[in-house]
């Protein structure tokens, strides 16, 4: 099958303690605009969303230790406003740069009072402390690396921030959201071991693809791409770059 022409985008969800969330300070709105992002005024609202507790509940990252706290859960339960920020549609070669920009926006929104944050495009949430650490990791990568190493290091920070793994599929432990850094998804056969084993394999292959290029990394491991997806092309979770199946 031919590659899809679909272009991914970030949908960032912020919760706040009052309606001031819907009117970020000028410095933050400038950052949003400078990166080509926009505030969505259709679905943002100055009232609680009763679905947020359940949504965050299934989206919390359960791979990183202590990725969220009881205080983060309380902030979701007690929120009074919801703000959505959208990225432009992203070309594959610019995905890491846009995801780094998304992390910068997350950082600035937390600094001005956002109480909880979720990446809607892959359905992943972290506590505020973890979001800030990921943003710091991304900035550190930009300062200490060059060339392909720069892209790979930033890709990893952004991937950990905005992608989710492992999802429990029928036969595979699956990733979702790798398209947000320009990479195909990785599905690891359950027969390869536990879900933790799947995370290790997934991260190793994803790091290799970011460091050496998708084709070279897959050729080394005798892996190939599939273009079949369970998601429709207009779904935020659809990955136009395909899926890598790691069989038993």
E strand residue ranges, the chain: 11-16, 38-45, 81-86, 116-119, 124-126, 164-168, 172-176, 185-189, 225-226, 243-246
- In the block, residue with structure tokens 């949430």: 125
C-alpha 34/C-alpha 54 separation (Å) is 33
As a whole number, mean pLDDT of residues 98-118 equals 98
Q: What pLDDT sits at residue 195?
A: 94
Confidence band, pLDDT 50/70/90 cuts, at residue 144: confident
Instruction: Identify whether the C-beta of residue 102 lies closer than 8 Å to the C-beta of residue 22.
Output: no
149: pLDDT strictly greater than 90: no
pLDDT in tens, 17-50: 999 999 999 999 999 999 999 999 999 999 999 9
Sheet holding 243-246, edge to edge: 164-168, 172-176, 185-189, 243-246, 225-226
147: pLDDT strictly greater than 70: no
As a whole number, mean pLDDT of residues 95-117 equals 97
- Overall size of the chain counted in residues: 248
For the chain, which residues make up each domain, given as ranges? 8-162, 166-248
Residues 161-191, buried b or exposed e (16+ Cβ, 10 A)?
bbbbbbbeeeebbbbbbbbbbbbbbbbbbbe
**Coil/strand/helix, residue 89:** coil
Q: What pLDDT sits at residue 143?
A: 82
Residue % of the chain over a pLDDT of 90: 92
Residues 6+ apart with CB under 8 A from 192: 198, 201, 246, 248
Q: Comparing 149 with 165, which gets the higher pLDDT?
A: 165
Q: What pLDDT sits at residue 146?
A: 66
Compute how many other C-beta atoms are within 10 angstroms of the C-beta atom of residue 44: 16
Compute how many other C-beta atoms are within 10 angstroms of the C-beta atom of residue 151: 19
Q: What pLDDT sits at residue 142?
A: 82
Q: What pLDDT sits at residue 1?
A: 56
């Amino acid at each position: 099958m031919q590659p899809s022409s679909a272009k991914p985008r970030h949908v960032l969800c912020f919760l706040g303690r009052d309606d001031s969330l819907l009117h970020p300070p000028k410095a933050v709105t400038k950052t949003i605009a400078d990166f080509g992002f926009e505030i969505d005024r259709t679905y943002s609202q100055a009232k609680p969303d009763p679905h947020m507790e359940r949504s965050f509940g299934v989206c919390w990252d359960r791979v990183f230790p202590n990725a969220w706290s009881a205080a983060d859960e309380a902030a979701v339960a007690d929120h009074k406003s919801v703000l959505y920020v959208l990225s432009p549609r992203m070309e594959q070669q610019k995905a890491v740069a846009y995801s780094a920009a998304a992390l910068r926006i997350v950082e600035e929104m937390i600094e001005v009072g956002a109480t909880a944050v979720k990446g809607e495009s892959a359905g992943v949430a972290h506590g505020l402390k973890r979001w800030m650490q990921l943003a710091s990791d991304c900035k550190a990568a930009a300062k200490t690396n060059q060339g392909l190493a720069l892209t790979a290091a930033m890709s990893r920070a952004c991937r950990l921030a905005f992608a989710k793994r492992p999802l429990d599929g029928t036969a595979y432990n699956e990733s979702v959201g790798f398209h947000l850094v320009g990479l195909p998804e990785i599905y690891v056969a359950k027969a390869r071991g536990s879900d933790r084993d799947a995370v290790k394999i997934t991260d190793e292959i994803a790091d290799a693809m970011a460091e050496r290029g998708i084709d070279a990394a897959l050729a080394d491991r005798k892996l190939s791409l599939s273009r079949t997806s369970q998601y429709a092309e207009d779904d935020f979770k659809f990955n136009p770059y395909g899926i890598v199946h790691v069989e038993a």
